[in-house]
Amino acid sequence: MSQTFEHISCQEVVELVTDYLEGAMPPAEVARFEHHLSLCEGCVFYVEQIRMTIEAVGRIGEEDVPPEIRDSLVDAFRDFQSRR
């Protein structure tokens, strides 16, 4: 029997990537997140870039990133997605 997933957006992937990589998501959310990744090559690339960044520079908490920087990164990702 196949499982039906509630749609998760690319924006939600951006918002949830830290929890995903830190293993802080409930199993149902992991399933939704990974289902989106199975359909979205851009988000796979994004998650891998974040994973590599964390490995390269260590852990940075969400509270360590100024809101304007976070918003700028999200905008850049959206722009990247829209050009695909």
Whole-angstrom distance, CA of residue 43 vs CA of residue 10 = 7
Whole-angstrom distance, CA of residue 68 vs CA of residue 32 = 28
According to the model, what pLDDT value does residue 4 have? 65
According to the model, what pLDDT value does residue 3 have? 63
pTM assigned to the model: 0.63
pLDDT tens string, the chain, 84 residues long: the values are 456 668 899 999 999 999 999 999 999 999 999 999 999 999 999 999 999 988 877 767 778 888 898 889 888 888 877 876
Tokens, residue 32: 């939704």
According to the model, what pLDDT value does residue 1 have? 45
